[in-house]
Amino acid sequence: MPRNGPLALSFHALVVMFMLAPLVVVCLVAFTPENTLSLPWHGFSLRWFRAVFERADFIQSFYNSLILAVVAATLATLIAVPAALAITRYRFPGRDFLNGLFLSPIIIPHLVLGVAMLRLFALMGVNGSFVWLMFAHVVVITPYVLRLVIAASIGMDRSAEQAAESLGASRFTLFRLITLPMILPGVAGGWLLAFINSFDEVTLSIFVTSPSTQTLPVRMYVYATESIDPMMAAVSALVIALTAATMIILDRVYGLDRVLVGRH
């Protein structure tokens, strides 16, 4: 197997450094004792982390984002799994249209979707509803689950299913004991991507949230338009730490290669 030469390794190192540099800078700025966005040249301080935990609105927005992301990702998975199995296994009129419909939120700008849903929810009289905010998130994150589940479904060996079916297994038993375990890496990876995209979504959410249902990204955006203190860096550092911890735990318990790549 050919090895990467010094030039290729240097290029990869530069790419990784370029991607990580903004995150490192944000995390460093979060520890500044100053009142402005600056690197902590004169010592480290936790004052801005304390300021975050003293803001009840940020804490509530975090819980809103967490609950919204978990529920929306779960609903998107429940929709995407049967849709992916139907698209990959059956030929029926409108199959390509259904596939395109499910994947269309990826190519439609979220700004356009946000304006459209704002108008739709206004006509329905449900502006600011957490349930309809959840519906909006399900629409935009379902394609991420669908693509990974379709990839897992196409690549699976169906001989075990055929053997179980020949022995009289019901469709539910077949799905629960054979199909689902075989496509589980795609399902888990899709759920994870859906959760991350829902938690980070701001362009769409800013149109359909209300003061009582504001998510953390929307709260951060609104705060950043009013102030330039380092508290936003502290919030960002906390989110980065939470994401990193989640990925490490997931890797230890299940394995990121199985979730994101599909290796067994």
The domains of the chain, with CATH numbers, are 56-261 (1.10.3720.10)
pLDDT band for position 1 (50/70/90)?
very low
pLDDT band for position 161 (50/70/90)?
confident
**Are 223 and 232 in contact, with CB atoms under 8 Å apart?**
yes
Query: Which residue in 145, 223, 236, 228 sits closest to 191, CA to CA?
Result: 145
- pLDDT digits over 165-190, tens only? 777 777 778 877 888 888 888 888 88
Q: What is the mean pLDDT of residues 230-256?
A: 80
Q: What is the mean pLDDT of residues 224-237?
A: 86
Q: What is the mean pLDDT of residues 70-81?
A: 94
Q: Helices (DSSP H) in 90-204: which residue ranges?
A: 95-107, 110-124, 130-155, 159-166, 171-174, 180-200
pLDDT above 50 (res 231): yes
Q: What is the mean pLDDT of residues 204-216?
A: 87
pTM score of the predicted model: 0.83
Q: What is the mean pLDDT of residues 118-140?
A: 88
Q: What amino acid is encoded at 53 in this protein?
A: F
- pLDDT digits over 94-116, tens only? 888 888 888 888 888 888 888 99
Q: What is the mean pLDDT of residues 80-100?
A: 86
Query: Which residue in 229, 244, 241, 243 sits closest to 48, CA to CA?
Result: 229
pLDDT above 90 (res 151): no
Query: What confidence score (pLDDT) does residue 260 get?
Result: 58
pLDDT band for position 142 (50/70/90)?
very high
CA distance 43 to 34: 10
pLDDT above 80 (res 63): yes
Q: What is the mean pLDDT of residues 16-24?
A: 88
Share of the chain above pLDDT 90, in %: 15
Q: What is the mean pLDDT of residues 39-50?
A: 85
CA distance 185 to 195: 15
Q: What is the mean pLDDT of residues 181-203?
A: 87
pLDDT band for position 90 (50/70/90)?
confident
pLDDT above 60 (res 205): yes
**Are 52 and 44 in contact, with CB atoms under 8 Å apart?**
no
